[in-house]
Amino acid sequence: DVKVTQSSRYLVKRTGEKVFLECVQDMDHENMFWYRQDPGLGLRLIYFSYDVKMKEKGDIPEGYSVSREKKERFSLILESASTNQTSMYLCASSPPAERFTDTQYFGPGTRLTVL
Amino acid sequence: QKEVEQNSGPLSVPEGAIASLNCTYSDRGSQSFFWYRQYSGKSPELIMFIYSNGDKEDGRFTAQLNKASQYVSLLIRDSQPSDSATYLCAVKDSWGKLQFGAGTQVVVTP
């Protein structure tokens, strides 16, 4: 079974703090993704990565950056946390896109509150 | 215009009845389609995928795809209280990215 883990289930930070969210997958997947999920808005893609040291902007990258130094690890960074970044953050991984029947597997999520 | 549309619900279904969930998408080039179930406070989990026109059955779940109409649906037969959750429709693009609908909340009443 695919296992995707995230460093924290719940996190409380203050406005202006730098926040690191870590994601690790154990299936040697090439693709990794970061989403945020808010009520009524569904899942929105922040950033994704197709390979080590590669990153691509998703639909809502503003205020975020990412790092992928190793294949199994994909980090989301909030450079200066703001209250509107309070949300559920979900990491996912998947095999290469050419296997179109393969889907994404999600981690348990991190509920971030910025005060 | 959203690329993947779902009714938000809640869809109230008596126990033992069939729940019918609908999803439309805008990208005609989409090749594969996925249904996820998400319990409150949890992450999405895959129920099934479909990529050919027609029906695909897996236990109590049936996915239906009509690419000409850009429509995919999920039927849940013999609905159980444990089926109460939000169901997310997702469409995969050529880059392997998934476009998600906002989800339909299903409530199964005893």
- Respond yes or no on whether the N-terminal peptide bond of residue A95 is cis (omega within 30° of 0): no
Q: For residues A6-27, give the mean pLDDT.
A: 96
Q: How confident is residue A53, by pLDDT bands cut at 50, 70 and 90?
A: confident
Q: What local confidence, expressed as pLDDT, does residue A18 receive?
A: 97
pLDDT tens figures, B32-71: 899 999 999 899 999 999 988 999 999 999 999 999 999 9
CB contact under 8 A, B92 and A100: yes
The verdict on B110 touching A (C-beta cutoff 8 Å) is no
Token representation of residue B42: 């949890």
Q: Check pLDDT > 70 for residue A71.
A: yes
**How many CA atoms are closer than 13 Å to the CA of B15, on its beta-carbon side?**
5
Question: Measured between beta carbons, which residues in chain B are less than 8 angstroms from residue A43?
Answer: 44, 88, 100
Q: Higher-confidence residue: B88 or B97? A: B88
Question: Measured between beta carbons, which residues in chain B are less than 8 angstroms from residue A100?
Answer: 31-32, 51, 92, 96
Of A41, A96, A101, the CB nearest to B49: A101
Name the closest residue on chain A to residue B34, using Cα atoms: A103
Contact A91, A32 (CB under 8 A): yes
Contact A9, A108 (CB under 8 A): yes
User: Taking a contact as any Cβ pair under 8 Å apart, which residues of chain B between 69 and 98 contact chain A?
Assistant: 88, 90, 92, 94-98
Question: Measured between beta carbons, which residues in chain A are less than 8 angstroms from residue B96?
Answer: 31, 50, 94, 96-97, 100
Of B31, B34, B103, the CB nearest to A103: B34
Q: Check pLDDT > 80 for residue A10.
A: yes
Which residue from A106, A114, A115, A104 is spatially nearest to A31, judged by alpha carbons?
A104
Name the closest residue on chain A to residue B31, using Cα atoms: A100
Q: Check pLDDT > 60 for residue B96.
A: yes
